[in-house]
Structure 1
Amino acid sequence: MTYCVGLRLKSGLMFMSDTRTNAGVDNVSSVRKMYTWEKPGDRLITLLSAGNLATTQTVVSLIEEHMKAANERNPSIMEVPSMFAAAQLIGETVRDVIKTASDGGLQSEATFSATFILGGQVAGGQPRMFLIYPEGNFIEATSDNPFFQIGEHKYGKPILVRAYNEDMSFEEATKLMIVSFDSTLKSNLSVGLPLDMQMYERDTLKRGFEKRFLADDTYYRRISEGWSDALRLAFESLPDFQMN
């Protein structure tokens, strides 16, 4: 299992993903789930993945292989004219990979399931973000639906729903995402540190600030401990039930 979040802000986009993967309690390791393709001045495209690791890695490998053998009929992700076209390209790749893997007949398609968050900007367009399903179809983030989560999202969602604001600065959004991830980490052992974070500032068309939060990161520990203390104080401030 995993947990990934993409936020749509007025100032740009933010991404965060955990790195834990496991094949049973005795086989836990860390794998990067955030991938970025960049052509400074032309495009910045970031992909977050959740689901079967073999499936997600195959999708990413195929995207990169297509970059080496692109043609007019089959452009690579570095040549598509828009973020919508990039979402179509990845959606088709996901659908083909899952169909090919499931054609063996030994396991259901669900075994090979994978979900992705795609975000970025291509020159001439606006920053856009999409949620891509295992079937290859996708939806776009809007003002009414301004963030996407994939993987083990139920524990971290209430934080985002209550505190998200599209006018947030990147610094405020970082704090929000860490609280969301910390709540998930404390509730589900299949999600774990390190956490990878990336900021994309609107219209820059290049990588923004990136950071990997390790278990001993000072800021992460301050937010984690501070949030626990704040929740405890808030709970204690609520009126007790009266048995009348």
Structure 2
Amino acid sequence: MTYCVGLRLNKGLVFMTDTRTNAGVDNIAKVRKMFSWHKPGERMITIMTAGNLATTQSVVSTLDERSKVPAERNPSLLEVPTMFQAARLVGETLRETIKMNSHSGQTAEAKFGATIIVGGQIKGMPPRLFLIYPEGNFIEATEDNPFFQIGETKYGRPILVRGFDPDMSFEQAVKLLMVSFDSTLKANLSVGLPLDFQIYRTDDYAPAHEQRVEQDDPYFQTIASEWAGALKGAFDSLPDPEFQGGPPVTQTPGGGR
């Protein structure tokens, strides 16, 4: 399993993903799931992948080869005129990869399924963020739906829903994602460190910051420790329930507690 998040801020985009892949508890590996293509001063496009590893690696390799050897029938991410067309290209590549694999060996297409987050900016247009489904179709992030998650999404979603603000700074966005990923790491062993994250500032056409967060990263350790303490403190500060019609359930027959 995996966990990836893409945020659309008023200032730009933020991406974060884990690096764990597994085929059972005794077959765990570390694999990069974030990839970028850019032309200085013209475009910056980043994708994050979740799902069948053979499928996602094939999609990334195909997109990368096309960017190095462009062809008329197979435009590359460095040639498409809009981010919509970039999302369409990724979706078509994903769909074709799944279709090709489903006709050889196993027959169930779900075995080869994958989802992809695509985000970036092409000069003359604003940054855009898309979620690509295995069927090749996609949706775009909007003001009402300003972030996308793929992979093991349920554990980290509550903090994003409660804490996200499109006006937040990049530093606040990374802090929010760190908490979201810490919650997921605590709840699911199929998601694991290190984490990769990237910050894209509008009109830069290159990453503003890229970083790998290792197990011993002091900031991540601080976030994990202080968030756990804050949750415990918030829980302890909440009032206990009052049960009507009898003594407190914690009271002993002798009057003690």
TM-score tier (shorter): over 0.9
Q: Which runs of 4+ in 1 moved over 3 A?
A: none
1:216 aligned partner? 216
RMSD: 0.9
1:139-218, aligned counterparts within 5 Å? 139-218=139-218
SS in 2 for 1:153: coil
**TM-aligned CA deviation for residue 105 of structure 1:** 5.6
Letter in 1 for 2:151: G
Letter in 2 for 1:135: E
SS in 2 for 1:177: helix
**TM-aligned CA deviation for residue 74 of structure 1:** 2.6
How many residues align? The count is 244
Question: How many angstroms apart in 1 are the aligned matches of 2:197 and 2:106?
Answer: 37
Question: Greater Rg, structure 1 or structure 2?
Answer: 2
Q: Percent identity?
A: 63
Question: How many angstroms apart in 2 are the aligned matches of 1:46 and 1:106?
Answer: 31
Does residue 74 of structure 2 align to residue 66 of structure 1? no
**1:27-69 alpha-carbon deviations (Å, 9 max, x no partner):** 1110000001111101110000000000000000011121233
Question: How many angstroms apart in 1 are the aligned matches of 2:240 and 2:133?
Answer: 45
Structure 2 unaligned residues grouped into runs of 5+: 245-257
Question: How many angstroms apart in 1 are the aligned matches of 2:74 and 2:54?
Answer: 24
2:39 aligned partner? 39
**TM-aligned CA deviation for residue 88 of structure 1:** 0.6
**TM-aligned CA deviation for residue 75 of structure 1:** 1.5
1:225 aligned partner? 225
1:127 aligned partner? 127
- Normalising by structure 1, we get a TM-score of 0.98
**1:153-199 alpha-carbon deviations (Å, 9 max, x no partner):** 00000000001000000000010000000000000000000000000
Greater alpha carbon shift after TM alignment, 64-73 vs 8-17: 64-73
Question: How many angstroms apart in 1 are the aligned matches of 2:22 and 2:225?
Answer: 27
SS in 2 for 1:130: strand
2:117 aligned partner? 117
2:95 aligned partner? 95
Question: How many angstroms apart in 2 are the aligned matches of 1:107 and 1:22?
Answer: 22
Question: How many angstroms apart in 1 are the aligned matches of 2:21 and 2:131?
Answer: 21
Structure 1 unaligned residues grouped into runs of 5+: none
Question: How many angstroms apart in 1 are the aligned matches of 2:34 and 2:161?
Answer: 23
- Normalising by structure 2, we get a TM-score of 0.93
SS in 2 for 1:100: helix
2:243 aligned partner? 243
SS in 1 for 2:111: helix
